[in-house]
Each structure stands twice: as C-alpha cells, then as structure tokens.
A and B are shown apart, each in its own frame.
Chain A
Amino acid sequence: MSDDAIGRPAAVAGRRRPSRLRRDGRAAAFFAAPSMIGLTLFTLFPIVLSLVMAFFQWPAVGERTFAGVENFTTLFTDPVFRRALLNTLLFVVLYLPLNLVVSVGLAVWMGPRIKGRKALRVVFFLPVVTPMVANAIVWRMIYQPNGLIDGSLYAATGTHAPNFLGEPGWAMFAVVAMSVWQGFGYNMLVFSAALDAIPRHLLEAAQIDGAGPWRQFFRIMLPMISPALFFASTMTLITSFQVFTQPFLMTGGGPGMDTETLMMFVFDKGFSIYQYGLASAGAWILFVLILGVTAVQFVGQRRWVTYDV
C-alpha cells in the first residue's frame, strides 16, 4: 500500500516526460558515440588489456599463462629494474627543479622592457619543436671526445674534458642538461604568459612601498604565477618520469646501467625480448608511481597555490 502511495506520484510525474527525455537521450548518445567509441577502443581497452597482461606470462608468440603477481615480484627482485627505477628518480630530481628554475628565470628576465622579446621567445621555444633525434645528434657532437666541449677546452687549456656520454659519473648529468635545454621552452612560455597577466598596479604599488626586485619576485610574482607553476610542475613531473628518447638516442642506457630509465626498461622487455607481461607490469608500476606523486602534488598545492587576484 505505502509502496504504491509513494511510487505512484513518481510514475505519474515520469509518464509526462518520457518522449522528450527519450529524444534527448538518443541525441546525446548519438553525439557522444564517436568519442565514446574512440575512448573505449583506444584508451579503455588498451588500459584494461595491459592490466590483464601484467598478471600473465605473455610472450609475443606462444602460450599465455596466468602468473598472478609473479611479474611484479620478478621486477622488484631484478637489480636492473631497481637500478632503472633509481635512475628515473634521479633524473626527475635533477630535471624538474632545473627546468623550473631555468624557465621561470628566463620568463622573468624576458619582461616587457626587453627588446625583441617575441623573437627571443621563439628562439627559446625552438628546441621544443625540433625533432628529438636531431637534438640528440647535435648534442652527441657537443659531448663526444674531440667534440665541441672537449675540442674547445683542449684548444684553450691543453686538458681534455671528460667523455660525457661514455663515463659513468657523467652520463646522467649530460642527459639531464640536454633535456633541460630541450624542454624548458614550453614552461617558459607558460610562465611568460602568466607573468604578463599580473596586474601592473600590484607591482607598482609594491615598488612605491619600497619593495626591491627580489622582494617583488618572491612576494608578488611567484604567488601570482603559482597556478601556472603548479600546472607546469605537474605536467613536467609526469613527462620526466616517462623519460625515454634522450637516453635511448644518446647513451642507449649506458655506460653500464647508468642511464637506463623505467621507460627504456619497459621498452626492452616489450620490444626486444617480447615479454609483454613483464613490460605491462613495469608500465603499471610506473603509472602508480606517477599517480602517487601527482596526488601528493595536488594535496600539497593547497598550501602554496593561490587563485586570488
């Protein structure tokens, strides 16, 4: 009885709307279909499949067997994987701050008073749009024995520079330096735009109140561009965890295991020995790592990102 009493009004109310609702629903489904199908086919399906693969022994050709968490235990007991993990962390720890310092620094320096700042922006952005392969070849010529650095140092002082890409202590730093050069242009543009958006009167007021350039930078500019800083650091962090092309092209992971990164490890497992299960497990570990660090960043941003103007 009571069910009926409660149910009825809803049914009555509902009965009046169906045709419009149905039409809207159909139209919505029609418009959503292309992206839904695309999303399912090219994003959801591969993600689910790779998760499934991570729990299988999945050779390229031959029998696939369920392996449970074996792939993950194999990875964590594999010294090469652990080394690749550490190398990736080292790359991130070196690359992220350097990238941010260089890009913020240049963006601030290229203030409105600098002549030809548009041209400069283009110049600094060039490495971002140049193919990485070309960049890698040029940088190899800079780094190699008798290359630009070694050659000019020898001509000037008679001593040789280290063999940057061939010596254990140097290779990772060489890769980081090249990566910073290659990647800072994008963040610089972001910061440059954010700096231009700071209302002039804020800086002028600070100036009148006697704030020097450093104080203006730390007390006004940095807080004002903190949303851009948050965006740039998050995106850069994600991409730097996935570093692949630079070490792949310049050092091949060597010398020894010095520049072998997680992505290179995954690539080798997937496309050199065709152990797709192991490769998927490695990729998921990387994904969880990135997810975790990004989550920490999102939680932490409340303390330092301001959206007030």
Chain B
Amino acid sequence: MGRQMYSGRRSLAVATAVVIAGGLAAGCGGDGQESAGGKKAGNGAVTLTWGMWASGTEDRNAWQKVADQVTQKYPNIKITLETSPFKDYFTKLGTRLAGGSAPCVVSMQSLRTGGYVSGMRPLDDLIKKNGLDTADFDSSIMAGLASGGKQYALPYDVGSLIITYNKDMFKAAGVPEPKVGWSVADFESAAKKLTTGGKYGFVGYPSALGMFSMILSKTGNAEPMDASGKLTLTTEQMKAGFQWYADLTAKQGVSPKIPGVDNNFTETQFLNGNAAMSVNGPWSVLELKAKAKFGVGLATIPAGPDGTKSYTAGSGFGISQSCPYPDEAFKAVSTMTSAEVLGQLGAVGRAYPARKSVQNKWYENAFEGSKPVLDAANASSKPFRTTSNWDPVEKLLAQYGIQAFNGQTTAADALDQVQQQSPA
C-alpha cells in the first residue's frame, strides 16, 4: 500500500512538474518556431501580422486597404491587421517584443525608434538584397527611423512641425494672418490681441515635439539632446527657451492654464475655438480641417534669431526580431511604403508621404497656402532625435512642465527634475 500511495503522490508531483514546466515554456518561450507574428500554410502562403495604431474604424479601414494591396501584389502573402490606439500601441508592442510574440510587421514612430531597436530587425541587408532604392525617401525621416547606423524601418510619413491657426478668430480680432517666416515678436503680438473674452491666442502644452520646435526656433540653438544622445535639458539656453514657452501660459497669459496631464489638451482647446493657434504636425492637419467648424490656416514656427526652425518626425514600418518570415515581411513593408501606396495615403490626407516623388498628392486635398508653408518648414527642419528611453522623458516633461506652465515652479527647476529622473 505504501508503494501505491507513494506512486500516487509521485504521479501528482510529476503532473504538477509538467504543468509548471509547461507554464515556464509558455511564459518564457519566444525562441520557438511557432510565432504569433506569422505562419505558413501548406501551399506556401504566408500570413503575417501587422501591428498598427488607429484611432477609429475609418482609420482602420484605410490601413486595411494598404494591407489588401500587399496581397494584390503578392497573392501568397496575407496580412492580418491588428490595431490599437496610439498610446496603447507602444505599451503593447514592448510587452509583445519581450514575449517574442510581436507582430511580424511593426509600425514605428521616429521618436520611439531608439527604445525598441533591441526587438527589431535591421533592414539594411534586406534593402541591399532586394535592391530597394531608398533615395526617394525623405532623408531626415530615414535618419529618424535609424539607430546606431542601422535602418530599422522604412518611412510612410514625415512632417515638420508647423503652426495651425483659426482663420475666423484672426478675422474677428482684426489680426493679419501670419506669413511664412513671421517672427516671434509677430507671434506674441498676435497672441496678445487674440486673447480676449475668455479665449486665448495660443495653446501650449509640455509635449516634446511641439514645445521643442518652438523653443528651438525662439532660441536658435536650444536642443533637448546633444550629438552623443544625452539629454541636455539643463543648458542655459534651454532653460531660457523653456521659461519663455511656459510664460506664454504663466506670465503672458496668452495660453490657457493646463488642468493636469491631458495629451489631447491642445487639440481640444484648438478645435473648441478656445485657442487661436497651436503647434501641429502635417499628419494631423487634414483631420483637424475636417473636424474644425472654422477655417484652418497653416503658418511656419515663428522665427527667432536664426530664422524659422522646426523638427521633423514621422513613422514607418519595420520587422520584428522574432518574425520567422523576414523576406516576406520585407516584401510587405516595401509595398506598404511604395510610391503607389504612399501616393494614395497622401491623396486622402492619411499621411504626408515620406516619398518625395508623391508628396504633391497630399496638396490635392490640402488647402490654399499650405504648400509654401510646408516647403519652408521642411527646408528649415531637422530630425527630432530622442534618447533610447523616450517615453519616461515625455511623461516627466508633462508632469513637471505643467507646474512650470501654471507658474508654480521655474523652468530651471522643472527641467532639473526631468533631467535627474530620466533614465540614462
């Protein structure tokens, strides 16, 4: 009986061990052949997963069309589109890269490239192997999607930060509309005149791209990062520039007080007609135009001592390290960034094309006067480089920046905190 009892216990122990081992394999797996990113059917057809951000059904449908175009060109490649909202997309992506279950085709934003390269596959060998000519791509966004000399994604859109303004509010206040190359002084005086009756001339928020574009232009040389990739938030010129930008809210009062962390703050204030100007990327301009109940105009970032300056950002598609079918994935990525597809995306205003040859398509749907503004912006902008851990910096900028904007701390103190607490 003793032996039988023992064997019973032993089988239970074995069963438990098997379960735990199974759990371990499931939890730590990822090096296996079966990948969530893609699978191959018996007839050689490959199904690839593509992770993308999308804000709604309409957005999703537009990207689904892009996925379908891949299958049209390569009938044995099928794309399964997975979408999530922009912010969640990166949270999910990091977790999935860690678990080795990332989608094969990964969408990547230039600001965040540095943080995810360890889970992504460099594309240089595939570019060479397939003889893909990358000269048509805007060089600044190619640089934005590269890291350590390796290309991690091919871009689909690009854009230099610009000012969007409410034409109706300018007209009502009798303020002349901004011209290409207008100065910081012009901007401040317009903002002051437009701030009246509970409305504001401008809306600022401590989010990196827009804020640092304004600060760069105003100071001429204050940048958040040096050439070696270190944060340089505590330089004198950065402190001065940040203080100026925060004081638009805190001292000059031409921008509304910020009610806590709210990433949509500038957009809602602008669309509500509560603020006459905001900083934006061309990627959101046509959407703004569609949503706004007033005329939207574009202007360059107000020029400081060295003329107008701006940053470029954009996004593209890359391939995850865990993807079992990189060749097929590369075919998909190069189709998704082909002149044909980008031209279509540009024409419907989904993206300002990263390929120079089809950028004119975007203007077909844009509004009068946008071309000289974007041309001037693109000519005076440089890629926005980030540290490899950018998300925490962005979060800290919002947390401490809001205090500075609301006048409860100085720019110097806020920047000190962000610089100190940011991961190296």
State the A residues within 8 Å of B (CB): 11, 14-15, 17-18, 22, 25, 29, 36-37, 40-41, 44-46, 49, 59-62, 80, 140, 143-147, 163-168, 171, 250-257, 260, 268, 271-274, 276
Please state if B399 and A257 are interface contacts (CB–CB under 8 Å).
Answer: yes
CB distance from A53 to the nearest CB of B (A): 11
Consensus secondary structure, chain B interface? helix
CB distance from B2 to the nearest CB of A (A): 8
Task: Tell whether B16 is near chain A: CB-to-CB under 8 Å.
Answer: yes
Please state if A254 and B399 are interface contacts (CB–CB under 8 Å).
Answer: yes
Most buried by A among B8, B402, B423: B402
What is the bound-complex CA distance between A14 and B4, given in angstroms? 12
State the B residues within 8 Å of A (CB): 1-2, 4, 8, 12, 16, 19-20, 22-24, 27, 91, 94-95, 97-98, 118-119, 198, 256-262, 321, 389, 391-392, 395, 398-400, 402-403, 406, 408-409, 417, 421, 423
What is the bound-complex CA distance between A168 and B409, given in angstroms? 10
Please state if B4 and A22 are interface contacts (CB–CB under 8 Å).
Answer: yes
Please state if A147 and B19 are interface contacts (CB–CB under 8 Å).
Answer: no
Please state if B4 and A254 are interface contacts (CB–CB under 8 Å).
Answer: no
Given contacts A22-B8, A61-B119, A250-B260, contact A274 B403 (CB under 8 A): no
A-B pairs with beta carbons under 8 Å apart, 13 shown: A40-B16, A40-B23, A46-B27, A60-B94, A60-B97, A60-B118, A168-B408, A252-B260, A252-B395, A253-B399, A254-B261, A268-B392, A273-B423
Please state if B20 and A40 are interface contacts (CB–CB under 8 Å).
Answer: yes
What is the bound-complex CA distance between A272 and B24, given in angstroms? 24
Using Cβ atoms and an 8 Å threshold, which residues of chain A touch B94? Answer: 60, 271-272, 274
Given contacts A163-B406, A166-B260, contact A41 B23 (CB under 8 A): yes
What is the bound-complex CA distance between A36 and B19, given in angstroms? 10
CB distance from A58 to the nearest CB of B (A): 9
What is the bound-complex CA distance between A155 and B233, given in angstroms? 41
Most buried by A among B8, B22, B399, B408: B399
Using Cβ atoms and an 8 Å threshold, which residues of chain B touch A166? Answer: 257-260, 402-403, 406
Chain B's closest residue to A42 (CB) is B23
CB distance from B148 to the nearest CB of A (A): 14
What is the bound-complex CA distance between A31 and B20, given in angstroms? 19
Please state if B1 and A11 are interface contacts (CB–CB under 8 Å).
Answer: yes
Please state if B1 and A14 are interface contacts (CB–CB under 8 Å).
Answer: yes
CB distance from B23 to the nearest CB of A (A): 4
Chain B's closest residue to A17 (CB) is B1
Using Cβ atoms and an 8 Å threshold, which residues of chain A touch B403? Answer: 166, 168, 254-256
What is the bound-complex CA distance between A14 and B3, given in angstroms? 12
CB distance from B121 to the nearest CB of A (A): 12
Chain B's closest residue to A145 (CB) is B257
Q: A45-B23, A45-B24, A273-B391 are in contact. List 7 more A-B contacts (CB 8 A).
A: A61-B98, A61-B119, A250-B260, A255-B406, A256-B403, A257-B399, A272-B91
CB distance from B196 to the nearest CB of A (A): 15
Chain B's closest residue to A270 (CB) is B95
Using Cβ atoms and an 8 Å threshold, which residues of chain B touch A271? Answer: 91, 94-95
Please state if B27 and A252 are interface contacts (CB–CB under 8 Å).
Answer: no
Please state if A40 and B19 are interface contacts (CB–CB under 8 Å).
Answer: yes
Given contacts A18-B4, A60-B119, A62-B118, contact A251 B261 (CB under 8 A): yes
Name the one of B4, B19, B399 contacting A252, with C-beta atoms under 8 angstroms. B399
What is the bound-complex CA distance between A49 and B28, given in angstroms? 10
Please state if A272 and B408 are interface contacts (CB–CB under 8 Å).
Answer: no
What is the bound-complex CA distance between A256 and B410, given in angstroms? 12
What is the bound-complex CA distance between A94 and B198, given in angstroms? 36
Using Cβ atoms and an 8 Å threshold, which residues of chain B touch A80? Answer: 421
Chain B's closest residue to A254 (CB) is B399
Nearest first, the 3 closest Cβ-Cβ pairs linking A and B are A252-B261, A165-B260, A60-B98
What is the bound-complex CA distance between A305 and B396, given in angstroms? 45
Chain A's closest residue to B421 (CB) is A80
Chain A's closest residue to B12 (CB) is A29
What is the bound-complex CA distance between A272 and B403, given in angstroms? 22
Using Cβ atoms and an 8 Å threshold, which residues of chain B touch A46? Answer: 27
Please state if B97 and A61 are interface contacts (CB–CB under 8 Å).
Answer: yes
What is the bound-complex CA distance between A15 and B417, given in angstroms? 75
Please state if A273 and B389 are interface contacts (CB–CB under 8 Å).
Answer: yes
Most buried by A among B19, B91, B97, B261: B261
Using Cβ atoms and an 8 Å threshold, which residues of chain A touch B259? Answer: 140, 143-145, 147, 163-166
Most buried by B among A61, A166, A260: A61
Name the one of A18, A251, A255, A274 contacting B98, with C-beta atoms under 8 angstroms. A274
Chain B's closest residue to A252 (CB) is B261
Please state if B260 and A145 are interface contacts (CB–CB under 8 Å).
Answer: no
Chain B's closest residue to A64 (CB) is B28
Chain A's closest residue to B117 (CB) is A61
Name the one of A37, A145, A251 contacting B19, with C-beta atoms under 8 angstroms. A37
Using Cβ atoms and an 8 Å threshold, which residues of chain A touch B260? Answer: 140, 143-144, 165-166, 171, 250-252, 254-255
Please state if A45 and B98 are interface contacts (CB–CB under 8 Å).
Answer: no
Most buried by A among B2, B97, B257, B400: B257
What is the bound-complex CA distance between A256 and B404, given in angstroms? 10
Chain A's closest residue to B88 (CB) is A271
Using Cβ atoms and an 8 Å threshold, which residues of chain A touch B8? Answer: 22, 25
What is the bound-complex CA distance between A95 and B402, given in angstroms? 26
CB distance from A122 to the nearest CB of B (A): 31
What is the bound-complex CA distance between A272 and B421, given in angstroms? 14
Using Cβ atoms and an 8 Å threshold, which residues of chain A touch B409? Answer: 256
Name the one of B119, B321, B402 contacting A255, with C-beta atoms under 8 angstroms. B402
Using Cβ atoms and an 8 Å threshold, which residues of chain B touch A276? Answer: 98
Using Cβ atoms and an 8 Å threshold, which residues of chain A touch B19? Answer: 37, 40-41
CB distance from A74 to the nearest CB of B (A): 12
Chain A's closest residue to B24 (CB) is A45
CB distance from A62 to the nearest CB of B (A): 5
Please state if A167 and B408 are interface contacts (CB–CB under 8 Å).
Answer: yes
